[in-house]
A = this chain, B = another copy of it.
Amino acid sequence: MGIIRKTKSVEALLNEFNKSSSAISAKKLIQSLDSKFNKTTIYRVLDKLEDDGVLHSFLGKNGLKWYAKCNDCSSNKHRDLHPHFQCLDCGKVDCLAVSVSLPKIPNRKIEVSQLLIQGKCETCFA
């Protein structure tokens, strides 16, 4: 079940995601908003925003949880099946607005897939 009330924490988190277009880890959000909100609150609000189709989540390096804005999702329809890129130098993570062609796998039913590409970002590569 998603967000019902427009609280301070909801506004603060949405604000964080409006400041940059990159993905943000739960860990970073907890650090940034530490003085204002409890980590439990942050985890719970993120979870609800994902239910609502406002954010989507995925696992980055070391299994850490990351969140990024959705483009055309709603609570009914989540379609964030794009790959993500994580810079091994600066740690930045971005959504890649491209579609991945999955390999053919006989006798299995594919439900979801996640592709994480790692390397050097534009800034760190130059």
Contacts and interface: CB of A to CB of B under 8 A. Distances in A.
A113 interface: yes
Interface string A86-97: 001000000010
Q: How many copies does the complex hold?
A: 2
Contact of A105 (B59, B64, B85, B107): B85
A77 B8 CA distance: 52
A98 interface: yes
Contacts of A83: 103
Interface of A: 59, 62-64, 83, 85, 88, 96, 98-105, 107-122, 125-126
Closest 5 pairs (CB-CB, A-B) = A63-B63, A111-B119, A98-B103, A109-B120, A110-B119
